[in-house]
Amino acid sequence: MLNPDIKAYLKDHREEHLSTLCEMLRFASISAVNDPDGCRPCAEWIAEHLRRLGLTAEVLPTDGQPCVFGELHVSDDAPTLLIYCHYDVQPPDPLDEWITPPFDPRVRDGWLYARGASDDKGQLMMHLAAIDAYRKTGGGVPINLKLLVEGEEEVGSPNIEPFLVKHKDRLQADALVISDVGFFADGCPSIMYALRGLCAFDVTYHGPNRDVHSGLEGGVITNPLNALARLTAAFHNDDGSVAIPGFYDDVIPVSEAERESWNSLPHDDEARAKSLGLEHLAGGERGYHTLERNWVRPTLECNGLSGGYAGPGAKTVIPAKATGKFSLRLVANQDPDKIQAAIDTFIHERTPKGIRAEITVHASNRPVRLPTDTPAMRAGKAAMAEAFGAEPKLICCGASIPITEILQRLLGLDAVMLGITLPEDNLHSPNERLKLTQLYQGAEMAASFYDNLRVLK
């Protein structure tokens, strides 16, 4: 159980910690904008705040935005925890949909509104508050801490892998906590243990060397747009499954225990459809529960098609080229390189005469599936139960967090994903927000987690 003095300090200093978070939220640390002054001031502020908390800290360069590294060593006999968060945020557009300015944090009805409030500065703040509480109550943090605060998560972490390779020795630890995740629902404490991987690629079909007259050349040459539409349709079978040969060969079946656990979650297909402006949820493979399709079944989606003329009125041309953007979400045991090779073969086999196919791969991230009964996972479950008053549910996520797989592959740490966001936090959207009770209880969870880890080593 967490020391009552820690709990009391966190409760008594909520306004102070909220004010500190608001100060951090005022930095427009948008990694997608090529502005050298956008992220670095925020990184410098975080490093200075870590120093005020008694850690050593520095801003370390990458080929893009810098990372912040902080360290607190309390004892050679204590275990070491590596904490991962990120300080960069999504662009706030469209600005006219924000009720209050995105970088001027405001509290309304128990929620803190600002870009980055939930994703991910609020989650960093719960750790900073926990460290502050240990520091001020006399006993000190019970374990060694290392913090890695990244500046390019929102653009796919393009420079994090070489950074981790370069600083691998400094980042060694006994356990890893990633705080860039959240609850399944408000009032449903949750720990994520699986994330889908990602492949993202373009297919460009090249036809004639210029746009040509559809009357003079129609019926004589292959139309790249028509060919691309046929290819797009061919990616799926009539039952919604992906038609790529071998696509499902390595997929791990869902266990009955997992299925039973997920059926107990407060999930309402009808409400979810309504929130999206739909009458029904009808996508994906037939024969699987919605959460199974969303979490542990792989998918292939068309993200966009372009080519030819799309302006007002008529322009009767056959375009010189057409491009489709596609993404796959892969599940545990699937190899992105193997899947991409199968897709390339599938595309070339179905490319008609008169068309040249060009495939451009934009992203490739492996899926993640963490063991659920490790020392760090047990410590995380106990901490979340104590702070939020209910045993956490084990959940998966249909999205990808590339840093999770990269950290696991390069450092091989005992990892747990502990976060406080809620589905209604408007992540990446206008009016992003964080429920204040999630922040305050999250700080208790972080402090309890550190205490639980004392017996790890």
206 and 137 in a common domain: no
The CATH number given to whatever domain includes residue 205 is 3.30.70.360
What pLDDT score does 340 carry? 96
**Token pair for 413:** 């740490």
- Predicted local distance difference test score (pLDDT) of residue 136: 95
Contact 112, 18 (CB under 8 A): yes
Where does a domain end: 349, 365, 381? Answer: 365
Residue 83 has which token pair?
Answer: 């904490």
- 89: domain CATH number? 3.40.630.10
Is 82 within 8 Å of 146 (Cβ atoms)? yes
How far is Cα of residue 223 from the mean position of the Cα atoms in its chain? 38
Structural domain tally of the chain?
2
334 and 419 part of one domain: no
Q: Are residues 25 and 111 in the same domain?
A: yes
> Residues 90, 143: one domain?
yes
Contact 31, 115 (CB under 8 A): no
The answer on 247 and 184 residing in a single domain is no
**CA dihedral over 173, 163, 44, 437, signed as positive or negative:** negative
Q: Is 216 exposed, middle or buried (0-12, 13-18, 19+ CB in 10 A)?
A: exposed
Strand 414-417 versus strand 175-178 pairing type = parallel
CB 193 within 8 A of CB 420: no
Give strand pairing partners of 83: 147, 177
Q: 384 in a domain, yes or no?
A: yes
Answer yes or no: do 349 and 388 share one domain.
no
Do 117 and 174 share a domain, yes or no?
yes
Question: DSSP per residue over 1-51, as a string?
Answer: ---HHHHHHHHHTHHHHHHHHHHHHTS--BTTS--HHHHHHHHHHHHHHHH
If asked whether residues 107 and 242 sit together in one domain, one would say no
pTM of the model: 0.89
Note whether 190 and 396 are within 8 A (CB): no
Question: Are residues 40 and 106 both part of a single domain?
Answer: yes
Same domain as 221, residue 185? no
The pLDDT value recorded for residue 457 is: 66
Residue 370, Cβ density class (10 Å: 0-12 exposed, 13-18 middle, ≥19 buried): buried
d(CA 32, CA 139): 41
Indicate the Cα dihedral angle 10, 12, 13, 19, nearest 10°: 120
pLDDT in tens, the chain (457 residues): 899 999 999 999 999 999 999 999 999 999 998 776 789 999 999 999 999 999 999 999 999 999 999 999 999 999 999 999 999 999 999 999 999 999 999 999 999 999 999 999 999 999 999 999 999 997 899 999 999 999 999 988 889 999 999 999 999 999 999 999 999 999 999 999 999 999 999 999 999 999 999 999 999 999 999 999 999 999 999 999 999 999 999 999 988 999 999 989 998 889 888 888 999 888 888 888 899 999 999 999 999 999 999 999 999 999 999 999 999 999 999 999 999 999 999 999 999 999 999 999 998 889 999 999 999 999 999 999 999 999 999 999 998 888 888 998 899 999 999 999 999 999 999 999 999 999 999 999 999 999 999 988 6
Residue 221 lies in a domain: yes
In this prediction, residue 36 carries a pLDDT of: 67
- What is the DSSP track for 248-307? TTTPPPPPHHHHHHHHTS---HHHHHHHTT-S----S-TTS-HHHHHHTS-EEEEEEEEE
Could you tell me the strand order of the sheet in which 299-307 lies?
299-307, 321-330, 197-206, 356-365
**Residues listed for the chain:** 457
Q: What is the C-alpha separation between 252 and 254, in angstroms, rounded? A: 7
Residue 396 included in any domain: yes
Closest by CA position to 2, among listed 400, 335, 310, 441? 441
CA–CA dist 422, 441 (Å, integer): 13
Cβ-in-10-Å burial (0-12, 13-18, 19+) of 248 comes to middle
Residue 263 lies in a domain: no
Please check whether residue 105 is in contact with residue 117, taking contact to mean a CB–CB distance below 8 angstroms: yes
In a domain, 69, yes or no: yes
Q: Do 336 and 414 share a domain, yes or no? A: no
Residue 197 and residue 24: Cα distance in Å, rounded? Answer: 31
> Based on the domain organization, do 159 and 238 belong to the same domain?
no
What local confidence, expressed as pLDDT, does residue 168 receive? 96
Phi, psi of 195 (to 5 degrees): -130, 145
Q: 89 is in which domain, residue-wise? A: 4-195+367-455
Residue 63 to residue 80: CA distance in whole angstroms:
28
Out of 365, 383, 415, a domain closes at 365
Q: Are 29 and 151 in contact (CB under 8 A)?
A: yes
Report if residue 90 sits inside a domain. Answer: yes
Establish if 272 belongs to a structural domain. no
In a domain, 143, yes or no: yes
Decide which of 365, 382, 417 is a domain's last residue. 365
- Counting Cα atoms < 13 Å in the Cβ hemisphere of 318 gives 23
Q: Which residues pair with 293 in a beta bridge?
A: none
